[in-house]
């Protein structure tokens, strides 16, 4: 019991752990009931058998959905190297979403207050550059994505900026990036995000590529995938989820 109690305390520290603890307890009770199943009638045993057979598939389906749709919500602060970085990342993503397309100007004050508070609470962000994942961000107006960049930096990424397609291609040839984030329209053209993507793919580079623009319409997401990107969104939280997942696979 002491061992189980210690394990329960450890698992209860994150959403994933709570799910695991729930599954263990549920199966423990099911096993206990199965021990005395000889006293049950056939009609009473059938629901128990169905439960033991079907429940693992239900859990697998729910888990797959959580990982694919809500991956960034499945971790506790202690799962990060620095808990301040976790708090800082979440706050910056919230601030970035508040400043997204269609947000009211009256929210800017609150956003700045969030940033100031989080920055004061983050005492250190001391990961060595060699240990940080490299991320190339292509945008001719980089000031539009300051909060998003700071969120990625808090999560352990080093951001390299490129203002145009040629600069991005030169950087890709010189450095080992985990992923590329690009806007769509630039001074070079309204679909320059796809021009860069085509240039990258024509060189045989399979680097994960994400379009971060003002649209999250289903047809634009589909178009991005058809052009060889790994995703497209206007939501900073979705962008964070997509890029961090791809960077883990690509590292």
Residue 144 and residue 51 share a domain: no
Residue 209 lies in a domain: yes
Q: Note down the domain range covering 64.
A: 2-73
Residue 40 and residue 137 share a domain: no
Specify the pLDDT at position 53. Answer: 77
* pLDDT block averages, 10 residues each, the chain of length 251: 55 65 74 70 77 78 74 57 59 67 47 55 44 89 89 88 96 92 94 96 95 92 95 91 83 59
Which two structure tokens, joined as six digits, stand for 25?
A: 């307890």
Residue 82 lies in a domain: no
CA angle (49 as vertex; 47, 50 as ends), nearest 5: 65
Residue 65 and residue 132 share a domain: no
Q: Going by C-beta distance under 8 Å and a sequence separation of 6 or more, which residues neighbour residue 188? A: 164, 165, 195
Residue 173 lies in a domain: yes
Residue 101 lies in a domain: no
Residue 83 lies in a domain: no
Q: How far apart are the first and last CA of the chain?
A: 40
Task: Output the pTM of the full model.
Answer: 0.58
Specify the pLDDT at position 203. Answer: 94
Residue 138 and residue 67 share a domain: no
Q: What is the CATH number of the domain that holds 208?
A: 3.40.50.2300
Residue 95 lies in a domain: no
Residue 224 lies in a domain: yes
Which two structure tokens, joined as six digits, stand for 44?
A: 């009473």
What is the distance of C-alpha 100 from the center of its chain?
18
Q: Helix, strand, or coil here: 243?
A: helix
Residue 236 and residue 132 share a domain: yes
* Domain limit, last residue, from 73, 88, 120: 73
What is the domain count for the chain? 2
Residue 232 and residue 164 share a domain: yes
* Domain limit, last residue, from 73, 88, 116: 73
Specify the pLDDT at position 198. Answer: 96
* Domain limit, last residue, from 29, 49, 73: 73
Specify the pLDDT at position 108. Answer: 46
Residue 144 and residue 62 share a domain: no
Residue 62 and residue 132 share a domain: no
Residue 81 lies in a domain: no
Residue 235 and residue 146 share a domain: yes
CA angle (172 as vertex; 168, 178 as ends), nearest 5: 110
């Amino acid at each position: 019991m002491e061992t189980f109690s210690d394990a329960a305390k450890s698992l209860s520290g994150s959403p994933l752990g709570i799910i695991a603890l729930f599954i263990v307890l549920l199966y423990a009770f099911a096993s206990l009931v199965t021990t005395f199943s000889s006293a049950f009638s056939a009609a009473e045993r059938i629901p128990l058998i169905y439960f033991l057979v079907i429940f693992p598939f239900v859990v697998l389906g729910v888990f797959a959905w959580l990982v694919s749709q809500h991956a960034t919500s499945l971790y506790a602060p202690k799962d990060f190297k620095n808990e301040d970085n976790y708090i800082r990342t979440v706050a910056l993503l919230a601030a970035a979403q508040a400043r997204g397309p269609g947000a009211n100007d009256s929210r800017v004050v609150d956003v700045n207050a969030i940033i100031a508070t989080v920055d004061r609470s983050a005492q250190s962000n001391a990961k060595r550059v060699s240990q940080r994942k490299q991320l190339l961000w292509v945008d001719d107006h980089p000031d539009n994505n300051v909060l998003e960049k700071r969120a990625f930096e808090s999560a352990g990424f080093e951001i390299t900026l490129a203002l145009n397609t040629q600069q991005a291609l030169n950087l890709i040839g010189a450095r080992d990036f985990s992923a590329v984030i690009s806007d769509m329209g630039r001074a070079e053209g309204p679909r320059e995000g796809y021009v860069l993507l085509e240039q990258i793919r024509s060189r045989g580079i399979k680097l994960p590529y994400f379009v971060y623009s003002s649209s999250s319409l289903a047809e634009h997401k589909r178009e991005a995938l058809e052009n060889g990107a790994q995703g497209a969104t206007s939501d900073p939280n979705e962008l964070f989820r997509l890029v961090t997942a791809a960077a883990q696979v690509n590292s």
